[in-house]
Amino acid sequence: MASKAIGIDIGGTGIKGALVNIRTGELLSDRVRYETPAGGRPEEIAQVVKRMVNELPKIGSRTPVGICFPAVVQHGVTMSAANVSKEWIGLDADALFTRELGRKVHVINDADAAGVAELKFGAAKNRKGLVLMTTLGTGIGTALFINGHLVPNAELGHLEIGGVDYESKASFAAKERENLDWSAWAERLQTYYSRLEALLSPDLIIVGGGVSKNHAEFLPKLRLKAQIVPAQKRNSAGILGAAWAAADRHIDD
């Protein structure tokens, strides 16, 4: 595996990236950030990513690039699109970025990347069994790992509970939209995580997203069989996970 890789985290409002030490999970450069182009069209985002990569420290042409993206990603093809242009649906994103950057690129779902970061460098490091990563934000993102192996695109945030897509009730955006206090929101999280436990019996649940910095306000209110802990990598999770996944994918480099 390459010792260094670039990680790029594409979101609906911002794109950030850095050079990563794959062995330690440390950032080897400052994080570079740009606004996501209005409309989030593929070619425009690719141009921003190219400019970002060119601003990072000088690296070899074989240094892989990992990009995490808010979509289901199957074999490098983005099959959905959240908060970006619908032009991404069915697009070979690996090929688009590889062509634009002139180097090997691996695209991964954003929640999967955050989970990889926790598995390799954070709260799930050296943990066996079934690990579930959840990110609480605009929606609920999830990543699933069995004995350290990723099960890609586990869209468990969209569980139907009580006749509704439950991320509409339990996401952090729902808490803000309905002005819920921590206790009321925790009741909804209890419903959501209890359903996940009934379906999967995870050994460990990790809670990420920006709200995880306030974990003391709501995690102690949950009563679950599995251990549930806050994510450790937070703002750098997408960058770290995408970089590691790219280096692992291009292990022959």
Q: What is the CATH number of the domain that holds 216?
A: 3.30.420.40
Q: How far apart are CA 112 and CA 249, in angstroms?
A: 14
- Note whether residue 80 is domain-resident: yes
- Note whether residue 118 is domain-resident: no
- Do 241 and 182 share a structural domain? no
Whether residue 10 contacts residue 69, with contact meaning beta carbons closer than 8 Å, is answered with: yes
Q: How far apart are CA 66 and CA 128, in angstroms?
A: 25
pLDDT at residue 198 tops 70? yes
Whether residue 246 contacts residue 104, with contact meaning beta carbons closer than 8 Å, is answered with: yes
Q: Are strands 140-146 and 149-151 parallel, antiparallel or unpaired?
A: antiparallel
Residue-level pLDDT at 12: 86
Whether residue 207 contacts residue 232, with contact meaning beta carbons closer than 8 Å, is answered with: no
Model confidence at 250, pLDDT cuts 50, 70, 90, reads: low
- Note whether residue 116 is domain-resident: no
Residue-level pLDDT at 2: 76
List pLDDT tens digits, range 68-78. Answer: 999 999 999 99
- Do 159 and 71 share a structural domain? no
Q: How far apart are CA 10 and CA 80, in angstroms?
A: 14
3-state helix, strand, coil in the chain (%, to 5): 40, 25, 35
Write the single-letter amino acid at 204: L
Greater model confidence, 210 or 132: 132
Q: Which domain holds residue 55?
A: 4-109+236-249
Residue-level pLDDT at 253: 41
Backbone angles phi, psi at 116, to 5 degrees: -60, -40
Helix pair angle (237-249, 110-121), 10° resolution:
90
pLDDT at residue 241 tops 90? yes
- Do 241 and 216 share a structural domain? no
Residue-level pLDDT at 184: 98
- Do 127 and 101 share a structural domain? no
Residue-level pLDDT at 252: 44
> Rg of the chain over CA atoms, in angstroms?
18
